[in-house]
Structure 1
Amino acid sequence: MKNTLKRLPIVLAPLIVLSGDLRAADPAEAKTIGRIVRERPDLSNFLQLLEKTEVGSQLSERTNIRRTIFAPTDAAFAKLPKDSLKTLLAPRNDDRLEEVFGFHVLNRSVPPFGLEKYAALQMATGQFLSINYQKGIIGDGKFIGESIPCSNGMIYLVDRVLTPNTDDLFQRLQKDGRFKIFTKAITASRQGKLFQNMHGLYTTFAPTDEAFGKLPKEFVDSLFLPENNERLEDIIKHHIVEGVRAAGKIPGYFSLGVSDVTPVSAFGQQINFKVNGDGATVDGAKVIEADLPCANGIIHVIDSVIPPVESGLLDLLREDERFTTLVSLLDATGLSLAVASSTEYTIFAPVNEAWTKEPYASLVRDSGGDAREALYGILARHVITGKHVSENCRPFSKLRTIHGAPIYLTRSGVDRRISNATITDTDIEGFNGLINAIDTVIPDPMELPEGDISTVDAIEFVQETLAKASPIYGKGEYEACWRYYTARGYEFLSKYRQFLASSAASELEGAIRDDQPVFQFASEAWASRNTFRKVLRVLEQREDRILDSYLMQSREKKRFGR
């Protein structure tokens, strides 16, 4: 027995050594972006960049990061001027090497069906790169071959080395050739520094020379006279906004047309973006080319000059033949004085045909007599204090009329309504507010006072939301389910926010915010569902005694989260 025990260490020692040699490598480490690049003979030049950069070493070693790489093939490097690669790899050009390599790296992993949804990308360098994956275009190059999934991201092969764009907005406009008058006006108005500012990001709406050609030549020439310097400055400032506002989608940024995204120009007025059957417009000017990347932002090319508005709401109503009846009633009731003031209002303006229906037609005929009081009450429900956009509004918003009554603005796809009246023309801007044309006079039901709304009402609302969303998800309609939760979330916050602590309300608002996902809608819907479940528990805990009383009376109702 003793002899056997003495021999055990000798037998175990080689087994321990063998076990160390035979340990399987982590499968994820064998499939990182860096290792896949090393295995491909057609990426040998790109591999040299990868091995010399800090970002590249991370792509080889780390499996807990997610990146997308646009890898130029050796044939792409062969298109460069002679010795370009050698120069780039020289030690003195390390910073330039990091920039060039970083311009081929996106700091997230995006599958092909995700890339199809994007118009531009912000690369690891912070610079923007245009993309049209469906047409196979990226920057000034093209996609070639297959996409390669890796354990820490994706690789796409491209036929050119992508060059970072160092031109600012003004330089890009100058080099384009279509914007000679616009760039001359930028210089004359002393706004060049704004367009060249590299400490921020901007979006420019750039009218072409043909756009200026639509204006009388005498007017355009007059803008460059010394006495009109201020006017020219105002016009130029209204063509640029702070921040990136793409017409398409850029990951990490909110696009034009998304709920609550209404850019304000450097002049101080909002830019109204609309999409219809004829395409996209800004302040009525057609967008003829969008999302041109620059070092400090993007450019949208437009076919008309968009000067800031100078007319007030009352003047706009008087100039529009659709609202002659409304204007006469505003004058008769004295509301025209308020609408003409500098106070900001949003007017939901019934067109003339809306006033031909009873009981309004009879009141209109007696607008100068005893009907004035009734007409004042009717008109007051169409005038909202403050400036509230309708085109790109939230799915559900509670507004207040000038006499304090709640009124609900809703958005579903292209349909926009105010208290169920269809909005036929949105966001006609005056210097003191907005006008929206509607097809009927808004009814004025007196709803339950807000002080009488209880936690039970809020609980029922959340329960109904969960119950109706479940079958939508069950049918595989994940995007529709997510959008349903979003709309119901805004409605809940409009009606029942007072029953939640600020932290819980903020969590719900964050969950329903339209952050423009392009895929994984099932995850978005599920996250929204979980947030609604949390809200339900908070409400139940807040008013447990009321809830218990309610459940005793309605035992047959299904209960969520209990």
Structure 2
Amino acid sequence: MKLRLYFVQFAAYLLVAILFTATGCERALQPVEPVRASGARVRVNQTITELVVNNPNFSLLRDAVVRAGLADALASGDLTVFAPTNAAFEQAGLDANAISGADLNTLRNILLYHVIGNGRFFEEGIQPFLNGLTTLQGQQVQVVRRDGFSVNGNLVSTPDIETRNGVVHVIDNVLMPPSASTVELALANPNLTYLVAALQRLNQANPTLLNQLQSGEFTVFAPTNEAFQRAGFTTIDAVRTANTDFLSRVLTYHVIAGRRFTTQFNDGRVMTNQGNAITLTQWPGRSTVQGLGNAMPTTILMPNILTTTGVVHVINDVLLPDARPLVSITNLVVGNPEFSLLRTAVVRAGLADALASGNLTVFAPTNAAFRRAGFADENAINNADLNTLRNILLYHVIGGQRYETSNFNELLIGFTTLQGQQVQVTRRQGVSVNGAFVVQSNVFATNGIVHVIDNVLMPPMGTIVDAAVGNPNLTYLVAAVQRAGLASTLASNGPFTVFAPTNAAFQEAGFATIDAVRNADPAVLTRILLYHVTDNRTFESMLRGGELLTLGGVLNVSAASGVRPTVRGRGNSRASNIVAGNVVTTNGVVHVIDHVLLP
């Protein structure tokens, strides 16, 4: 970058943006980690100007001082000067040609920012905590003596050169006066657009953090765009739709009160605004920060960027306050090949944005679950009725709360879904929802929690009677219910569980034709039918070996791990198999069986 352009655009924060861009190519004015040095006080019989003019290591400082017309000012008074070496100027992109072409006012401001005009501040008088010293430029530099003497996070390589009109401390970096707030700095940097988007998203719900960063003194660890992408935010839209509670928790974890330079990183753990600690470590040549949820320390790419409201350190990873992941439920689905059919369904139904925000509990069917439900491939999903598909998907989502498996118990509890109807969840013999087993639980996302299930949940379309009437394989059962006068009972609120014999089961039991059912003794039919009904919801997953009380007596249940349970009536010589289980209705559940149960 040519220096003339650099200085012309300084006031528009271009300097800040370049300084603040993560490493990876050559940049002007990049902060680097200082090398520690110390030394005893040295007295020279020269003015500060004479010291600079006569020392070849300060030839670029001399050129800058002469160009800015400050030679006389540095020859009198009682001053403290932080004097950058030639290497410091060159590292900042300021060689002799650049200095001669620099904007005069900008150059003068930079130089005056290195001069304290109200006395001699020797190393021994610097406190072990951060102190601001006002410069002749008008703004303060921050000095501290802790494991060495540093200014704005840059260690002084040679301190305490006492001259006739002050003291000189040699530094290995040019000090740049801050010209923007932390927020303005981020806005000017194209490599921090994801961070800016996160702050803007959070500001919609809670402006506290943004207001603090614009007014108070804070140290911010600023993740790059790549850091956000590695954390699961594959696009900036994923940030813009992220859960605001999550963003608040994570972003405040990147902020600590006050200014803290890397030279102060010997403190170990430091409390953040989020309430949990981060670990700050200074290594030879680099500094790191580690969150409680990060497996490895995060490298600081660009340290000690001073702003008008604090200090910024650009980092290469997002800091995690705990082990919970950073991606939304939508991103979890999109990124997992086991959910490719669910992803297709979500996109087809236009629910991707809805599953990327809020506070949700989602029961996510696998590809195998979709195939079992008749959705053989993506074409089947794309050809499905849109409203039906949307209702099915919303029936898998509980809004407003994230329920871990520890929130469930052995009692069957109904949870209202975004579709409007309830799903029934229990933790008996494993966690199940509407009888579908949870095969992977407690998958955390930024906006909720996911439980993977082995079957698609179908919203109930009517009562138990409606379900039977709509099934051509249960016409004998419907005729029996009508003959026994139980239709109104089984259409009431319930809840009930019905073991529903197929037409073939009735025929096997001696009802050769449907007319035989219609002409049967109502009392006999009533006694048989009530033996197929319980007064609660009992899914397959809840059937345990032993006795099951029905409205007409006791059934025997056989249940073993890995196989479907069977039921047997006291008058049956063999058990009935469940051929279609967990048919959910508005007032209960139906299990289709292959034999009539005899009391």
* Smaller-chain TM-score bracket: 0.3 to 0.5
- TM-score under structure 2 normalisation? 0.34
Q: TM (normalized to structure 1)? A: 0.36
The structure with the largest alpha-carbon Rg is 2
Greater helix share, 1 or 2?
A: 1
